[in-house]
Chain A
């Protein structure tokens, strides 16, 4: 079974802090994704990585950056946390290549509260 793990289930940070959210997948997937989930808005893509050191902005990248130094690990960074970044953050991974869009496998999520 594919397993996607996230470093924390719950996190509380102060405004202005630098925040790191870590995600690890064990299926050698090429693609990794970071979403935020807010009530009524579904999942919105923050950043996407299709290979080590490669990244692409999603729909809402402002205030976020990412890092992918190893294939299995994808980090989301909040450079200076703000209260409007309080949300549930979901990491996902999928196969890549072959000209197809593959199903994504999700981690359990990190609920981040910024006070």
Chain B
């Protein structure tokens, strides 16, 4: 069965600084990988996804993620955070034709002025 680990429960970053959120997955074949963001009181919004091809994926709101098969990782990055990036971020993995996703526990990001 697939699983997802987000090792950091909370991260605090200063506005304008870079951000990296870690995601490690466990799955036997090539996974389908997703990053979602949840702003306070809201549902989840898709930031980006990886199915195949180029391992560096660009998403919305200036985010990118890199798939590293050798490390079973799919880390999310943003070069310069804005106060509006304060939210909870979830990594998810799915398998081909499986329809279902397995989510990590989430990382809550706080942005200091």
Contacts and interface: CB of A to CB of B under 8 A. Distances in A.
Interface residues of A, number: 28
A17 B105 CA distance: 30
A114 interface: no
A94 interface: yes
A7 B36 CA distance: 23
B99 A96 contact: yes
Contacts of A104: 44, 46, 101
Most A CB within 10 A of own CB, among B41, B42, B44: B44
Contact of B101 (A4, A96, A101): A101
B46 A42 contact: no
A92 B106 CA distance: 17
Given A40-B9, A96-B99, A101-B32, A106 B49 contact: no
Nearest to B90: A42
Contacts of B60: none
Interface string B29-56: 0001010100001111110010100000
Interface of A: 4, 31, 33, 35, 40-45, 48, 50, 58, 90, 92, 94, 96, 99-109
Interface of B: 4, 6, 9, 32, 34, 36, 41-46, 49, 51, 90, 94-101, 103-106
